[in-house]
Amino acid sequence: MIASDTHGLHGKLAVPEGDVFVHCGDFTRRGELKTVSDFGRWVGALPHRHKVVVAGNHDRTFEDDPEAALAALDAAGNGLTYLQDAGTEIDGVRFWGSPWQPWFFDWSFNLQRGPELAAKWALIPEGTQVLITHGPPLGILDRVWGGDRVGCADLLERVRELQPKVHAFGHIHEGSGIDVREGTTYVNGSICDERYRPVNPARVIDL
């Protein structure tokens, strides 16, 4: 099950059953530790056997004070897995998670397009089957309200090289949905729309 961009409104989300819960970041508005703790407790109470989380550009404390943020996220001993340029294996399926995106105002986990971002995507190992990033690849579920495509070209290139089964992300609320291309299922799991209303459903993907 894939969700993203709940922005503190996770309690309003209807969560379908599944084996693995994935959140692609922006579970807070501005990285508030109280919201991080509340989100961690909420995730811990979900029935899914495994929970995997990456941060997003709104989750400021995960870049500014990662020790405090991680302590808050796991305050209830919920056993979730936080990934930041790191991987994990679940039931033989290889996951990789990363929070970065092209520079977006003055938020967190921003990097300039080109070599800086390409270096992060180069860390994604061969054999990754489920890729979790906060931002989308260029041209796939990345269109903003004005019509521009704002995803990352270097991320798209790396995904095409690796051909994971699933690429899950969020960040662009207007792009919420699913698209299948060249054997990869792309999922923009944004729950909030562009007005920060939690109107989109969580997405269920079978592997």
pLDDT in tens, 116-151: 999 999 999 999 999 999 999 999 999 998 889 999
| Residues of the domain holding 126 | 2-188
Say what the pLDDT of residue 163 is. Answer: 98
Domain-located, residue 139: yes
Give the Cα separation of 193 and 48 in Å (integer): 25
Point out the least confidently predicted range of 47-56, 104-113, 174-183: 104-113
pTM of the model: 0.97
Q: Considering just the CA atoms, what is the radius of gyration of the chain in Å?
A: 15
Q: In this prediction, what percent of the chain has a pLDDT beyond 90?
A: 94
Flag whether 193 is in a domain: no
Number of domains in the chain: 1
What would the pLDDT profile of 186-205 be if each residue is shown by its tens digit?
999 999 999 999 999 999 99
Q: 164: domain CATH number?
A: 3.60.21.10
CA–CA separation, 153 and 40 (whole Å): 32
